[in-house]
Structure 1
C-alpha cells in the first residue's frame, strides 16, 4: 500500500536527495562495470565505484558527467527529484539571505553559508544540464498529454512510480535496472547503456538523450563476466574472510551529500522552515473547520478528529528534527532559529504569497503578497502564555495563581465584545482565557493524586509522578478526549520550581494548545486568515460548545431512545435482571458498563470539579460558569464526544459478539421477511443486516431458505454456539476492560468505525489498511486511483442503502446521481496527489459520514439497540407463555437448561419453521415494535446527502469577507 500522507518540505527534500543519490550512484557503478566504461578508463582518469552512498558535491557532478557520457536513459522521476532538491536548496539560500538581513552587522559565518548554498545550487543545475534536463523540460511542456505512452503500452508516470518504489525500498533489482539504466525491454543488470539496435526509437519518443549524446547499449553480458579463480573452495573461503564493503549493505537513509558543517545547519534550517510551514497552514485550516462547527453546525467530533490528525502531522515533522538533530527539537529552539533569536527584528521579514496556476505548464502568476505577523502565525503568543502559566503554577504547585498573575487574569469576561475591543484588549482577553483554562485543566487532571496526598496522607512526589495518559493513574483520570495533552502539560507544570521547562515544550504541544484556544476564539467571531489577517464578525446566536456532547448524553432524558446515559441505565438493568439466576453471564459486562456510565455522567461535558472538590481550588471561571473548562472549550467538547462515541462503539460490538440476542434477532427478522410473515422489513434490523452483513451471515448475504443452516454456518466457524466463544475469551484473559473493548478480538463483529481506525492508527492514515477502510470511503477510492465516477457510484450506494432507516419505511433521498459525479468528491482533491488539506478534506468526509452521514456506524446508540433486542426477546417469551404455545412449553417448561440456552433453542426452532403460531406471534410483536435506525441515533437526523461537505467552496480557512470587518 502506497503512503498517501503528504510529506513536509524537509522530509520531501531528504527523501528526494536520498533517492536521487541512490539512482546516480548505482547508475555510476553500473557504468564502471561495463566494458565500455573500462575502455573509457584508459584515458588515465581514476574511476572507482562508490560503496558508501556518500559523495561530495564535486563527486556528484563527476558522476553525472560519467553517466551522461554513456547515454543512460534518465527516468522522469530523476529529473523531478533534481528539481525538487534544487528548489528546496534555493529556498534555503533565500532564507539565509533573509536571516543575514536580520543581523545588525555583517556575519562572516552567514556569508560563508550563502556561498556554500550557491555552490551547491549551481552544482545541482549542472547535473540537471548534464542529464539533458532542459530538453526533458521542453518535452514536458510540449506534450498535450502529461503522461506519454510508451510503445509497449506502459505510461511514463507508471515507470517512474515503479522506479520510485524500487528506490524507496532500496533494492537495486532487475526491474530497477530496466527502468533506470536501459530500455524497458532489457531486464539485465549487466548493461549500462541502450543498444542502438534495441529500443532507441521508443526511448527517443519518451525521453530526451543526455545533452549531445547518442544512445547505445553494450551487448548483454559484456564487461560483467567473472573469471574463475584458482584455489577452489580455499580461495572462496579466503575471499569471504576479507569481505569488501558493498553498496548493497548501505541503507537508503545513509545516502547523503557530504558538506562542511554548514550542511548540517542548512538541513536543520530547512527542517525548521518545513515545520513552521505546516504549523501555519494547519492552524489556518483548523480555524476554518472550527468556524464551521460554530456557524454552520458541523459536528464537533469531526473537527476534533481532524485536530488530532493535524497535530499528528506536526508531530511527524517534529520527530524528524528530534531524530536527526537531537536536542534541537524544542519549540524555543526552533522559534529562535527561524527568527534568528530576535522576534521583534524578524517582524515584517516574512511574507505569504498567493500564486495562480494554470492547468497547463508554465510559470505560476503571482497574485498577492502580504507580510506575516510572525508572533501570531508562529504561535509565539500561545507559547508565551503556556510558559507563563507553567512558571506561575510551579511557584506554589497549589493550583492557585500567584497574586501577580491574578492581577492579570482574574475575572475574565466571557461576553467581551471582540468587535469593539482594541487589538491589545483582544490579546489580553485571549491570554487571560488561556491561562485560566490551563489552570482548570491541570487541577482536574491531577486532582486524584493531589487528593491522595492531602486527604489520605499519601506522599506522591509530583515531579516524579507518571502523568502520561496511559500512566499509573490512567484509570482514575477522566478528561475525555485530551488526556495525552493534559498529561503532557501537567507533567511540565508539576516540575520543581525553577526548572527550565522551555526545553520540555515541543512544537506539537504548542500547536495543539493553539487549536484549543482558536476553537473558542473562532466561535466568538475572531479568526485568522492568510491574506486578510485578523477577521472579526458577530458570534453565531445560540451556539454552545456543549451542543453536540449534550445531545449524545441527554442528561435530562428529553428524547426517548436517544441519549447514551438513559440507554446505559436501561441496559444495565436488563443485564442485571438476566443475571439474577446466572450471575456469571454478564458480570464483567455489567462492571464495564457501569464504569462507562459513571465516567460519562461525572467527567464528560461537565465534571465534579464544577461542584467543588475538597482540597482543590475552585474553577478559575467560577465568576461566570464553574463548568468553564467545558463550556468555554469547543475543542474539549468535540474531542470528548469523539472518544465517547468510540467507547460506546467498542463496547457495543463487544456485547453483540458475546451475547446471542443480536445474531438471533437479525436471523429471525430475515426469515420472517422472506417467508412473508412480515409484509415489509423492520428498518432497524434491515439496516443492521446491511451494515454488518459479514458479521451476521457466512457469505455476507441474507438467506432466502434453509435459515437454520445459515445460522449454523455462521456460528459454527469456531464452535457450536456462543458459550464456546465466551469460555475461550475467559481463558485468554479477555475479560479485562481493555481486552473486552478490542474489536479486533471479536469473532463476528470486527468492523471498525472511522473514528476507531484513526485512533488505533495513531492518527496516521498510512497505517490503515484498505480492507479496514472499506470501499465506500473516499480515502479508499483515492488510494485505488479510481475515477471520480466510481467514487460517486460508491457514495450513491451508501446513501441508497439507508432508505429503510425510518420506522415508517423507505423515504426519498437526494441521490448523488442527480448531480455531476465530481460533486461527490470533497473539495481540494487532486487526481494524482494530495496536499495536507486535501488529505484532511478526504478524511473529514469519511469521519463525517461515520458520525452523522450515510455510513453512520458511530451515530447509533448501541446501548439502546441492545436493550431493545433483549426486551423484544422478553416479549416473545412472555406472549408465547401467555398463549400456552406448545413449542415454548417444550423448550422453557420441559427443558431444564439455562435461560440463555433456552432462548437459543427457541430461535433455532423458529428458524426451522416448525410452529406457525410461534412465527405469527413473533411477527406481530416485531410489527408492534417497529422502529428504525434513526430512532436510536444521538442526533435529530442524518445528513445522507452530505451536501455540507460536498458542495463547492473556494476556501476553507476563514469567514466570508462580505460579512466581515477586516483589520
Structure 2
C-alpha cells in the first residue's frame, strides 16, 4: 500500500538499485578485462559500501549510455527519504543536543552525501534532484511498474545515438502502458547492455546474451519463486577464465534481500531512525482517519462492525510493519525505545515539533505555507502509553484486581456524561485517563476470571505470570470475551507479572495504537476529537448513540420480529425437536447442541460481562456493564466475531440439511418455467450470493432441473455428509484451536464460501496476506490485486497479457479479456474510483430488482495514501456486513426456518389433495432424504398438480429480504455512507497535504 517514504519502501528501492549496480558492473568487467581487479572483486559480494557504490557508479557511467531514467528516480527516492528523516531529527534535536542524536545526525549527513556522490558519479546532477526529477518518490502504481515490468534497457526503447544521454521521452497517450518498458520485471539481457555501451567497448562474450540474465526478478513474489526453484537449470555459457570476476549464475542465486548497501554502526543507527520515523508517521495518519470513522458510527448510524474492522486492519498493518522493520533491529521494537529514539525527552520535544500546512496565495500562485505547533504527547500517543504503563504498574502492585489507594483517588467516580465542551484541557485529560485505567481493570479482570475461578473454587495453585493467555492457549475454550482476545491476552500477561519486573520492553506500537483506538471510539461519541491542526475539537455528544446499538439489533434483544439471532435459534431448535421429516441421529443432536452453546455464549458474553469472586466493575457507580457500554470499539469488534461465528454455523447447518438447496432449485425452476409472476427477491439474492454452492460450476439450469440437482447432490445414492469431506472435517476438529477454525466453511461439502470478515481474520487483518483464492469477485480489494498483476507485452502486437493468477483466471472465466481487465483496473492507476459494475455483470447475476438499499454518497479520489487505502477496503466491508452482498448480515437460521415453513405448507397441501408425488417421495423412496426425494420428483415435472401447489406456496410466501437481515437498512456501497451530523458539527481536517516537521 502507498505510504510516502516508508522505511520498507526505502529498503526495496535500495535493494533494486544495488542489484542493478552490481549486475551491471559485473557485466562491464567481464567485457572489459582491462578494468582494475579491485572493481571485479567488489562484484563478488551482494552488498557494497558507500565508497564502492560511488566507484561502481562511475564505472557504469563510463561504459553505459544512457543510464535508465528509473535508476535516477530511485536514487532520488533514497536521497529524499534520508533528507526527510534528517530534517525531522534536526528539527527536534534543539540546542541541547543529546550526544547520540548529534552523532546520528552527523551520520545522516554522511549517508546523504554518499548517496549524492554515487548519484553524481552515475551521471546525475544535484540540480536534477529538485528540477529534472521533481516527481518525488514513485507512487505505488509507478513502483509496481518499475519493479514488475519489462526492461527499459531494450535497444528499441532506450538506445540513443552515442553521446546523447538524457531521460526517455514518454508517449503521452498511454502513459501507463508505455511505462511497462521499465527495468525490473524481467532479467535484462546482455544484448541490451551491449547496445548501450559507449564506443570503445567490445563484447567479450559472444554467448553472453544467452546466459546473462542480470537483473533478476524484482517483485517479492518473483523472489519467493526464485527461492523455491534454486535447483532449476543453470544457463549455458562458456567456462570463464580464472581472471573473470564472477559468474552470472552466482548473482542470480542471491535473493533480492541480499543486495544492499553495507552499513557500519552509524549506518545501522540512521536506518533505525528512518524505520522509527516511518512507523510513527503511519500511526499518526491512521489514528486521525479512524477518529473520523468512529464519528460516522456515533453521528451517522454507520455500522460499528465495519468501523472495528477498519481499526483491526490498521492495527494489522502496524503490527505487520513493525515486524518487518524490526527484524533488522530486534532490541528496538518496543514503543518506549521507539519514542525515546524519536523525540528523546518528551518535555523538551514539546516545543520542537511543528506542522507545515502548504497553502497558496488567494490568486492561486505562490506559497503561503503555515507552521503550527503540535501536541507531542497527544499526536504521538504518549498519553495513552503512559496510562497503560500506570495501569500495569498499579495492577501488579496489589495482585487483587483492585486499584491501589493512590490510584483509586485519581480514577474513582468517573462521570461518563461530563460536559467535555465546558471542561478544561486538564480536566478532559484527567477524565480520559480515569476511563482508560478503569476500563483496563475491567478488561483484565474479566479475561482472567476463568483462571481465578479455578484457583478460588478448586483451590488450584496456578501462577498467573506463567499462564498462556493467547487466543489459542489452553484457556481459550472458556469464552469470556468477544472481539479483542489477542489484545486482552497481551495486556493480561503484562498485568499479572510480579511487581518490579520490566514490562515496558514488551509493550509494542500496535498495543498502544489499539488502546488509543479503543479510547478514541468513546471520546468521539462524547464529541471530543483530536485534530492535528486544531488540537482538541469539541462537539455536542451523540445523544442518540448507544455503543451496544448494533449488538442489540443482531441479538434481537429489543425486537420480537424474529430477525435477531437468539429468537431464530429458539425457533430452529424447536423444529429440530419436532419435525418428523428430520432424521433422528447423533449428528442432528450434535449440531443442535453446538447451536445452543453458541447462543448461550452470545447471551453471556456478547455485550455482557460477569463479575465474580469479590470483584465488580470499575464503572459500577454508573453502569456495571461499563466494559461494553462505554466502548464502541469493543462492541464493534465483539459483534464482528459473533457475525463470523453465526455465519460459520449457518453455513454448516445449510450444508447438513437439504431444505435450502431444495428451495433454491425449486425457485429457479418456477422462474425459468414462468410458473410464478416474478422472481422472489430473497431467493434471487441468496442464489446470487451462493451460486457456486447451489449449482454445479455455478451454471444456473434453464431446463432438465431434476438432473441439475442430482448432479449437485450426487444422485440418489449420495449422502449429505460426503465421505471425501468427512476426514477433512474430522481432522479440522482435532486440530482446531478455537471455534472460529472449527466453523471454517472451506471443509463443507456445498457451502464453502467465506464471508469477508472470515477472510480478514484468517489473514490476521493484513490484506496483503489474503490469498487470491479467498478474495471474491468483484470487490475493490480484488481490483487492486488485479491492478498489481504482472503484465507482459507482445513485441509484435503490442498487446498486454496478465500473469495467470487465480484472480485473473476467475475474471477471464466471467467473460473478461485481459485487455478489459487492464482497462477496468487502470482506473486505480489513474486515481479514479474503480467501476465494478462491468465485472459484476459478468461474474455473477445482477442483483434483483427491488433489492433494498439505504442512501450513500461518492468516494473521494483514490490516491492510495494509507487512509484512502482503508477507505477502499471500507467499501468491501460495508458490502459484506450491511451492503450489496451482506453475507455477514444475513440471518441464516431464520432463512432455514422459513425453508422448513414452506416445506410444511407444501406437504400439508399435497396430503390434502392426495397428490401422487407425496407417497412416492415420502413413503416409498429410501435412497434420499425425504425432502430431497420430493424435490427431485417435483423438478422432473411429471406432476402438474404438484407444481401448481409449489408455485402457490412460493407466491403466497414472498418473504421480505430485510426480514432476514439483522439491520434496519442496507447501504449501497458505490461510495461512503451519507453521514447526517448535527448542525455546526466540526469535522477533522485532512492530513494529506501536511507534513510533520
Q: 1:262 to 1:160 in 2, by over 3 A?
A: closer
CA distance in 1, matches of 2:540, 2:980: 25
Question: How far is 1:779 from its partner?
Answer: 2.3
CA distance in 1, matches of 2:143, 2:199: 21
Structure 2 residue aligned with 1:844: 874
Question: How far is 1:730 from its partner?
Answer: 7.7
* Match among 66, 74, 77 for residue 81 of structure 1: 74
Does the Cα contact within 8 Å between 1:195 and 1:216 map onto a contact in 2? no
CA distance in 2, matches of 1:202, 1:392: 63
CA distance in 2, matches of 1:586, 1:770: 35
CA distance in 2, matches of 1:696, 1:524: 47
Question: How far is 1:582 from its partner?
Answer: 1.4
* Match among 742, 745, 752 for residue 743 of structure 1: 745
Question: How far is 1:139 from its partner?
Answer: 12
* Match among 35, 43, 55 for residue 62 of structure 1: 55
How big is each residue's C-alpha offset from its partner over 1:226-255, in whole Å with a ceiling of 9 and x where there is no partner?
9xxxxxxxx99999xx99994334332232
How big is each residue's C-alpha offset from its partner over 1:104-134, in whole Å with a ceiling of 9 and x where there is no partner?
67x3x55444343323212322333343445
Q: 1:660 to 1:254 in 2, by over 3 A?
A: same
CA distance in 2, matches of 1:363, 1:48: 54
* Match among 339, 342, 347 for residue 338 of structure 1: 342
Q: 1:742 to 1:886 in 2, by over 3 A?
A: same
Q: What secondary structure sits across from 1:369 in the alignment?
A: strand
Does the Cα contact within 8 Å between 2:879 and 2:973 map onto a contact in 1? no
Q: 1:481 to 1:382 in 2, by over 3 A?
A: same
* Match among 312, 318, 324 for residue 320 of structure 1: 324
Question: How far is 1:676 from its partner?
Answer: 2.6
Question: How far is 1:828 from its partner?
Answer: 4.1
Does the Cα contact within 8 Å between 1:827 and 1:952 map onto a contact in 2? no
Does the Cα contact within 8 Å between 2:15 and 2:259 map onto a contact in 1? yes
How big is each residue's C-alpha offset from its partner over 1:770-829, in whole Å with a ceiling of 9 and x where there is no partner?
453333212222333423586153488599977647xxxx3797999xxxxxx86x3241
CA distance in 1, matches of 2:716, 2:934: 22
2:16 maps to 1:30: no
Question: How far is 1:73 from its partner?
Answer: 3.8
How big is each residue's C-alpha offset from its partner over 1:333-383, in whole Å with a ceiling of 9 and x where there is no partner?
11111122x11111121122233699xxx9995633222211111111111
CA distance in 2, matches of 1:812, 1:863: 20
Structure 2 residue aligned with 1:12: 9
CA distance in 2, matches of 1:459, 1:446: 14
Structure 1 residue aligned with 2:147: 164
CA distance in 2, matches of 1:22, 1:758: 35
Q: How does 1:412-491 map to 2 (within 5 A)?
A: 412-491=414-493
Q: What secondary structure sits across from 1:500 in the alignment?
A: coil
Structure 1 residue aligned with 2:275: 271
Question: How far is 1:160 from its partner?
Answer: 7.6
Structure 2 residue aligned with 1:902: 930
* More moved, 781-790 vs 370-379: 781-790
Question: How far is 1:521 from its partner?
Answer: 0.5
Structure 1 residue aligned with 2:682: 684
Structure 2 residue aligned with 1:658: 656
CA distance in 2, matches of 1:157, 1:603: 43
Structure 1 residue aligned with 2:155: 183
* More moved, 840-849 vs 46-55: 46-55
Structure 1 residue aligned with 2:571: 570
Question: How far is 1:573 from its partner?
Answer: 2.1
Question: How far is 1:274 from its partner?
Answer: 1.1
Q: 1:715 to 1:548 in 2, by over 3 A?
A: same
Structure 1 residue aligned with 2:860: 827
Does the Cα contact within 8 Å between 1:658 and 1:725 map onto a contact in 2? no
Does the Cα contact within 8 Å between 1:195 and 1:215 map onto a contact in 2? no
Structure 2 residue aligned with 1:561: 562
CA distance in 2, matches of 1:552, 1:32: 70
Question: How far is 1:578 from its partner?
Answer: 4.4
2:835 maps to 1:791: yes
CA distance in 2, matches of 1:10, 1:850: 33
Query: Normalised by the size of structure 1, how large is the TM-score?
Result: 0.84
CA RMSD of aligned residues (A): 4.0
Does the Cα contact within 8 Å between 1:183 and 1:203 map onto a contact in 2? no
Q: 1:50 to 1:767 in 2, by over 3 A?
A: same
* Match among 405, 409, 417 for residue 407 of structure 1: 409
CA distance in 2, matches of 1:481, 1:606: 13
CA distance in 1, matches of 2:855, 2:503: 55
Q: How does 1:11-410 map to 2 (within 5 A)?
A: 11-34=8-31, 37-39=32-34, 41=36, 47-101=40-94, 103=96, 107=99, 110-134=101-125, 161=144, 164-165=147-148, 178-180=151-153, 183=155, 215=198, 222=205, 246-340=250-344, 342-355=345-358, 365=367, 367-410=369-412
Question: How far is 1:647 from its partner?
Answer: 1.4
Q: 1:718 to 1:440 in 2, by over 3 A?
A: farther
Does the Cα contact within 8 Å between 1:865 and 1:936 map onto a contact in 2? yes
Question: How far is 1:304 from its partner?
Answer: 0.2
Q: What secondary structure sits across from 1:528 in the alignment?
A: strand
CA distance in 1, matches of 2:930, 2:73: 69
Q: What secondary structure sits across from 1:405 in the alignment?
A: helix
Structure 1 residue aligned with 2:767: 765
Q: 1:948 to 1:843 in 2, by over 3 A?
A: closer
Q: 1:110 to 1:545 in 2, by over 3 A?
A: closer
Question: How far is 1:300 from its partner?
Answer: 0.4
Question: How far is 1:71 from its partner?
Answer: 2.3
Q: 1:398 to 1:942 in 2, by over 3 A?
A: same
Q: What secondary structure sits across from 1:450 in the alignment?
A: helix
Q: What secondary structure sits across from 2:698 in the alignment?
A: coil
CA distance in 1, matches of 2:947, 2:877: 40
Does the Cα contact within 8 Å between 1:32 and 1:49 map onto a contact in 2? no
Structure 2 residue aligned with 1:698: 696
Does the Cα contact within 8 Å between 2:617 and 2:626 map onto a contact in 1? yes
* Match among 905, 910, 927 for residue 875 of structure 1: 905
Q: What secondary structure sits across from 1:15 in the alignment?
A: helix
Q: 1:8 to 1:695 in 2, by over 3 A?
A: farther
* Match among 857, 866, 876 for residue 887 of structure 2: 857
2:968 maps to 1:940: yes
Structure 2 residue aligned with 1:512: 514
Query: Normalised by the size of structure 2, how large is the TM-score?
Result: 0.81
* Match among 622, 626, 646 for residue 628 of structure 1: 626
CA distance in 1, matches of 2:303, 2:845: 23
Q: How many residues align?
A: 886
CA distance in 2, matches of 1:323, 1:928: 64
Structure 2 residue aligned with 1:231: none
Question: How far is 1:951 from its partner?
Answer: 9.6
How big is each residue's C-alpha offset from its partner over 1:745-791, in whole Å with a ceiling of 9 and x where there is no partner?
22322222221221111111122244533332122223334235861
Does the Cα contact within 8 Å between 1:10 and 1:271 map onto a contact in 2? yes
CA distance in 1, matches of 2:134, 2:502: 59
How big is each residue's C-alpha offset from its partner over 1:516-549, in whole Å with a ceiling of 9 and x where there is no partner?
0010001101101121111011112211111111
Does the Cα contact within 8 Å between 1:651 and 1:740 map onto a contact in 2? no
CA distance in 1, matches of 2:118, 2:360: 27
* Match among 777, 781, 784 for residue 782 of structure 1: 784
Question: How far is 1:960 from its partner?
Answer: 6.3
Does the Cα contact within 8 Å between 2:396 and 2:496 map onto a contact in 1? yes
Structure 2 residue aligned with 1:589: 591
Does the Cα contact within 8 Å between 1:275 and 1:317 map onto a contact in 2? yes
Does the Cα contact within 8 Å between 1:682 and 1:930 map onto a contact in 2? yes
Q: 1:668 to 1:218 in 2, by over 3 A?
A: farther
Q: 1:356 to 1:651 in 2, by over 3 A?
A: farther
Q: 1:667 to 1:473 in 2, by over 3 A?
A: same
